[in-house]
Amino acid sequence: MELLSVIRRWHHRDRIPIREIERRTGLSRNTIRKYLRSDAVEVRFKVPQRPSRLDPFADKLSEWLRVEAGKGRKGRRTVRRIHADLVALGYAGSYARVAAFV
């Protein structure tokens, strides 16, 4: 993340105080101090592994996408149509989750 390098450059090279960095970035002073103390090159966030409602339908969806890839542009189903077909099979999740998978 380039923000981390910008914060370090401002503080170490340009000698900008932490309060000024806070004002410029909108981050808290504690967060800025944490970034300055760390040796990390980029910020990493912990993302918990959660089961998705799409998981039971992932194999079927992957198969559909393989079939759709072989068709011409005009013959392919849209993501909205694929979502509607999944809903017909019992999928209760959102369109956005299907679009992200596709």
pLDDT of residue 62: 93
Is the pTM higher than 0.85?
no
Q: Mean pLDDT score of the chain, rounded to an integer?
A: 89
- Domain extents for the chain? 3-37, 55-100
Residue 49 pLDDT greater than 90, yes or no: no
Stretch 47-74: mean pLDDT, rounded? 90
Provide the 3-class DSSP secondary structure of residue 92. coil
Per residue in 65-102, pLDDT (tens digit) is: 999 998 988 899 999 999 999 999 999 989 999 999 98
For residues 43 and 4, the answer to whether their CB atoms sit within 8 Å is: yes
